[in-house]
Structure 1
Amino acid sequence: MQKFILLQLIRFLIVLGALFTVYLIFMHTFKFIYPILITCILSLLIYPLVVFIETKLKFPRPLAITVVMLGLLLFFVGIVLLVITEVYQGTAYLAVKIPSYIQTFVSFFEAFFNTNILPLYEKIISFFHSLDNEQQTTIQDYISSITGFITSTGSDMLQNSLAKIPEILAVVPGSLTTLTFILLATFMMTNDLENIKRIASRILPGTVRRSTYDFFHHVKLAITGYLRAQLLLIFISACIILTGLMILRVEHALTIALIAAAVDLIPYLGTGIIFIPWIIYLYAVSDYSLTIGITVLYMVVIISRQILEPKILSSSIGVHPLIVLTTMFFGMQLWGIAGLFVAPIVTVLGNAIYQAGIFQALWNFIRG
């Protein structure tokens, strides 16, 4: 009995060590292998469409791949051009309106300063002069230390930000090279995908082959489902925002709706980046009717997303939203802000591994 338990413990340590080794290898080689991973995902995603065009339209495989990749590229370029056009028009409009907005803000803060800050400042100065010399010196030293800390912190932040600009610019050529590699590799992999599958079938044992096929099948379903769910949620939010802004007769409603849809991808913050400062500004300039309208619109967007997101996500990727939220929390603790984006991917992969029966196979190995 003790020997059987010892063997189980040894097998458990072997599995744990193998998983930890794979994790370390992945984390240290990710910056080198991520183009290959993206290539594999893109190839698997576009392959059904390539086969459809090849079968229905009788196109040769290379031509079908070229048509699909060019179509997707033109689609994304079209979206980018539409966004750029709308943003350009919106910024041209803002360039005319910003001086009056700034003047309004200045007038508001000037009135606020004269009615609230200045009387308070006079009271503080009066109180300060009523103190003895030692207390005044202590307060002055404390204020000097605070201002010194703020100044040094601000200088460090500005210096670090400026120092990162060359690093960011240096990434651009490498990014273009990586993008070129991904496009070429996707073309070649999609063109030879059947041969790659046959070679893998000859090399891999039957059990491993079935598990690998199930894993990639569920990964494909989960990733496409997740992307479809996010695009659907963004589309619904954009439609709600556009409709609300048109009802409120806000100028350049489409530009605002497109920008809001883009920032909706940011976890936790989302459309609040746009709406909260906007609501504060409208309240500051005493435009109370539009303040109420934008506030109601923002609440409708938040409530509709909270209601729809669990249903759409759970139906698309087969994972309960509570699990996704929990993994995002732990991902943020482990990897910071990047964890908010990595956690859903890890969840999708974990669900694919579970659906493929790999966890069950490992457990059967441990039990012996």
Structure 2
Amino acid sequence: MQPLNISYQTIIKRIIVFTIVVFLFHTIIFQLTPFFLAFLMVLIMEKPVSFLSRYMPRLPSVIIVLTIILIILTLLAFIVGSNIITELIELGRFLPRYREQITESIDSLLQRQEDFFEVIPDEISTLLRQNINVIYQRGDQILSQAVNRVVNFTFNIPGIFIFIIFTVFSSFYLSRDKDKIFKYVSSKFNLSDEDKLKLVNDFSTYVRIQLLIITNTTIWVGVTLSLLEFPYAILLAITAGILDLIPLIGPGGILWPLIAYHFFVNPLYSIILFIVYIIVLGFRPFLEANILGTNIGVHPVILLLGLYAGLNIMGFQGVILAPLSIITFKVLLVADIGL
């Protein structure tokens, strides 16, 4: 094996370029979110728009495809949103009862803790008490933040409406003038047509795969919990789908507590949930190994490493930024731009 002939200047240059890529994605995704969602919408629309453009001008093609997508999304939002609102109202109605049950469970647990602490050395007892208190405080903080965000999002109707308007109009203009915008942006970078096409295709493939994974997890969990007549099945399913983006947590953040609880209450439910967990857990590596690794050319281990590093450095934002930055940097690296 020959050693890699890379100078320190090249390594520093690549680190700087990768940092710039991460910063740009952070700004676009989290500061200019409607325009980023519009870009994703354009990626989804491009194939049907290109197909219709064979038989009519691009402008009506964009209008037709965008209208169909908006109708589908509106119907899904109405169906899912109405269920979520119903479940939130029910949760708010029964929350005092749940709080009493949780309080009783915690009191019982604390009493057992006290009995346990009496038979262990004082040093270990003090250390355990401190860590348990930290866990309780952190859990209460996470729960409070989650409830506040859901409530704020639910009742911030004007902000949501403005957000949707910006996203829809941005999607329309980006799709209509895609060739002009692509040509202008391409002129600012020394990339060949093949590299430009590769970058767009890689982005499109990654986004479609992630959406497919989230949708698969949400549907499996939602259908299973609904058939088993779990309360708040839609909320739990959507949360499981979102958690599937986060490495080391995934849908198990929702399913494992349910599996553990029903193992003592209803073992059959526990077995069914475990089977569903295995199914959704095996779906991601199958797609990543057979589609991402082949089409994008980035090994799944590299993507997983990036996801883990991004999660530890930047939290949930890092989970989104890491793979997109790795894909972009990989295209820049293989292109002839002096890296």
Q: TM-score per shorter chain, which class? A: 0.5 to 0.7
1:26 counterpart (24, 27, 34): 24
Matched, 1:298 2:316: no
Is 2:240–2:253's contact at 8 Å kept on the other side of the alignment?
no
1:186 counterpart (166, 171, 174): 171
Is 2:259–2:273's contact at 8 Å kept on the other side of the alignment?
yes
The CA distance in 2 between the partners of 1:40 and 1:119, in whole Å, is: 56
The CA distance in 2 between the partners of 1:278 and 1:21, in whole Å, is: 40
The alignment partner of 1:231 has SS state of helix
2:59 maps to what in 1? 62
Q: Partner amino acid for 2:228?
A: V
1:250 counterpart (228, 231, 236): 228
Is 1:233–1:309's contact at 8 Å kept on the other side of the alignment?
no
The CA distance in 1 between the partners of 2:198 and 2:165, in whole Å, is: 28
1:334 maps to what in 2? 313
The CA distance in 2 between the partners of 1:10 and 1:219, in whole Å, is: 27
Is 2:25–2:325's contact at 8 Å kept on the other side of the alignment?
no
The CA distance in 2 between the partners of 1:17 and 1:270, in whole Å, is: 29
More helix, by proportion: 1
- Within 5 Å, give how 1:261-340 maps onto structure 2: 262-268=241-247, 269-284=249-264, 286-340=265-319
2:332 counterpart (341, 353, 357): 353
Q: Say which one has the larger Rg.
A: 1
1:46 maps to what in 2? 45
Is 1:39–1:182's contact at 8 Å kept on the other side of the alignment?
yes
Aligned-pair distance for 1:236? Answer: 4.3
Count matched residues: 326
The alignment partner of 1:266 has SS state of coil
Deviations 1:211-236 (A, max 9, x none): 25334311221122112222333454
The CA distance in 2 between the partners of 1:235 and 1:28, in whole Å, is: 24
Is 1:40–1:186's contact at 8 Å kept on the other side of the alignment?
yes
1:225 counterpart (198, 205, 217): 205
Q: TM-score, normalised by structure 2?
A: 0.67
The CA distance in 1 between the partners of 2:86 and 2:214, in whole Å, is: 22
The alignment partner of 2:54 has SS state of helix
Aligned-pair distance for 1:340? Answer: 1.4
Is 1:43–1:189's contact at 8 Å kept on the other side of the alignment?
yes
Matched, 1:117 2:117: no
Matched, 1:74 2:71: yes
Q: Partner amino acid for 1:330?
A: A
Q: Which runs of 5+ in 1 are unaligned?
A: 1-7, 129-134, 364-368
The CA distance in 2 between the partners of 1:316 and 1:192, in whole Å, is: 27
Aligned-pair distance for 1:172? Answer: 7.6
Aligned-pair distance for 1:343? Answer: 0.8
Distance 1:264 1:197, change over 3 A: closer
The CA distance in 1 between the partners of 2:45 and 2:81, in whole Å, is: 27
Q: Partner amino acid for 1:117?
A: R
The CA distance in 1 between the partners of 2:104 and 2:302, in whole Å, is: 49
Distance 1:238 1:319, change over 3 A: same
Q: TM-score, normalised by structure 1?
A: 0.62
The CA distance in 1 between the partners of 2:141 and 2:308, in whole Å, is: 27
The CA distance in 1 between the partners of 2:78 and 2:15, in whole Å, is: 49
Distance 1:317 1:288, change over 3 A: same
Aligned-pair distance for 1:70? Answer: 1.8
Moved more, 74-83 or 304-313: 304-313
Q: Partner amino acid for 2:320?
A: F
Aligned-pair distance for 1:352? Answer: 2.9
The CA distance in 2 between the partners of 1:221 and 1:175, in whole Å, is: 30
Residue identity (%): 19
The CA distance in 2 between the partners of 1:65 and 1:85, in whole Å, is: 29
Deviations 1:27-71 (A, max 9, x none): 796566665555555445534433432332x3x543322222222
Q: What is the root-mean-square deviation of aligned Cα atoms in Å?
A: 5.5
Aligned-pair distance for 1:341? Answer: 1.5
